Structure 1
């Protein structure tokens, strides 16, 4: 169901004498940190130079609630959104995103049609996936000088591996990790989660962490919490942890077990002020060479075979 706010209805009736975004500006959601920095070099700056337009980054930390909030009359918040797959699908179902015209996607350098060059499942009704990443568990090397944690089960084992755990306020991967810690086969996880028994198993695992959870909301926080010694283990995005370890010499190790792979999806807000330019940006950012450029900077996988 489409929900209209009073401010939106007023702007539709009376019109708006000013636009929050000027004619030469495209507003794109940003996640901050190393990811946004890589996007700036790979996507934003090259697009600005090629199209003589200014890109403005407005922070976004996930969820679909912010998409339906108008800070100013006629202000959609964002023209282009970079969303998790689950959020993009939910936003599409709520008609918060425009339907995506896949014909704008650009062919691979060898002439292969874009629709054949993207991996299966990358093109959606309301957007297109541009990178794959993983929600992972990492730990502070200094917290465990002897025996090191190496499994999802160790994340929940406060006795063997003491210290606080950093978790997102949104249930990203934690439910799946709870199931994996009981050695539930991946193919059975969601069936079990839909049952009362699954709920009890998850509750039991989370209760083991009671009093030892530090909640985070923004993607850079898990790295900050680990580097400052405020937590011993944290869930977060693989690219952030890799960047911290490789480029900033922060003593962080990623646990290989239980890496939860997800897709990041470009979508266009239903009330984008410049939908045509937004589509041009998505076409540009999903070109083979642009995807390859980002993957060379950050350890996120492209969604095109040619990249």
Structure 2
């Protein structure tokens, strides 16, 4: 099986699970407009990088992807809620996301806020329910849920967003920029990679190797975003380009120049790939994901 086939297969597993999940919510929840708003953004055609990483690590470690699926779906819901809120007028005030009108443009600001809130709570409801029914695996499942909670919270994704908001219009240091994206973008990516390792009781040295991989692809993801904001097109990205410069945001491109950012991207990708050598040939797909992140066009 090649990379594209495996990527498609894992993405389909995630999409099928989410479709069934929201179909059930639509039948059970009386507030249909809320569920419509939630599913609008979740099913808007994202790349599913985070849940795919989770399933890929699980497969590499000889685990069952279906067993970890509630965690994969939960992390995609958390990621989606963050995008809904990130697009609001109080944040980035974006009109388009993934080539479609942003949630608040379709459903209004109030419903978009509530849909984001509901997705966050739905994610943790899913995690708690899965952990409660895990039997003798409960301890590992609860630990994995805590990793996701920390990654999404005050010292993870939300902390990165706070730094981002407070840094608009100012030039920040390279250290602060890296900290911001390690939290805002990297925290959920790292959680996606580490959760299966904790879930399956992996040794500390191998968890350390996976953490190094995850942190480097998290940086790569953001550097590539910054490059695409300069070189990409609205057709490729599904949203306006050049917003970083218009909003006077510090980026890897503004700090290091386009060529410098591209060189940094190559370096962190190399580190990510090399950190997986401990897993041998089983890590082939994770290595390919690192290259995919570094070369993506949207």
**More contact order relative to length (CA 8 Å, sep ≥ 6):** 1
Q: If you compute each CA radius of gyration, which structure gives the higher value, 1 or 2?
A: 1
The TM-score by the shorter chain falls in which range? under 0.3
